[in-house]
């Protein structure tokens, strides 16, 4: 198996924009994102959703968890930096944890604040 391409800091910024990951940013060599929730139960659900997606992808983020916040840090340890794996997992995390039922559809959606988009 060939080694994954590691992106430079400038390339990471461009890839963030390319992938539409507007709330993700580069810091200290990690692709990062902070999610704010409406409380502890939602925080735990968020952590579990991220864990499920990461395990399915066999690519595991570092998480920091407090009462109403989850910080996600991604980089490909085996490659020594940020690779396409990290961007793909970030996109999937966004898709899953920010999903809401469409208006007017058969699912009502939670009336709670849940996970905040920004």
Question: Any idea what the CATH number is for the domain that residue 70 is in?
Answer: 3.30.1360.20
- State the total domains in the chain: 1
Residue 100 pLDDT class (50, 70, 90 cuts): confident
- Asked if the structure places residue 107 within a domain, the reply is no
- Asked if the structure places residue 106 within a domain, the reply is no
CA angle 87, 49, 59 (to 5 degrees): 40
- Asked if the structure places residue 118 within a domain, the reply is no
- Asked if the structure places residue 50 within a domain, the reply is yes
3-class secondary structure, 89: helix
Residue 2 pLDDT class (50, 70, 90 cuts): low
Residue 14 pLDDT class (50, 70, 90 cuts): very high
- Asked if the structure places residue 78 within a domain, the reply is yes
pTM: 0.91
* DSSP notation for 53-96: HHHHHT---EEEEETTEEEEEE-BTTTTB--HHHHHHHHHHHHH
- Asked if the structure places residue 103 within a domain, the reply is no
- Asked if the structure places residue 116 within a domain, the reply is no
Q: What pLDDT was estimated at residue 45? A: 95
Residue 65 pLDDT class (50, 70, 90 cuts): very high
- The DSSP symbol for 94 reads H
Question: Above pLDDT 90, what percent of the chain?
Answer: 82
- The DSSP symbol for 104 reads T
- Asked if the structure places residue 43 within a domain, the reply is yes
Separation of alpha carbons 54 and 115, rounded Å: 18
Q: Which domain holds residue 83?
A: 9-97
CA-nearest of 106, 78, 75 to 90 is 75
């Amino acid at each position: 198996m060939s080694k994954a391409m590691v992106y430079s800091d400038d390339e990471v910024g461009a890839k963030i924009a390319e992938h539409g990951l507007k709330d993700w940013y580069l810091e200290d060599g990690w692709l990062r994102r902070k999610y704010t929730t409406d409380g502890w139960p939602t925080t735990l659900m968020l952590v579990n959703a991220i864990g499920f997606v990461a395990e399915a992808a066999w690519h595991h983020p570092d998480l920091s968890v407090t009462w109403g916040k989850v910080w996600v840090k991604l980089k490909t340890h085996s490659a020594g930096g940020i690779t396409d794996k990290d961007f793909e997992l970030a996109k999937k995390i966004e898709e899953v944890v920010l999903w809401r039922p469409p208006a007017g559809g058969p699912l009502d959606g939670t009336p709670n604040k849940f996970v905040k988009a920004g």
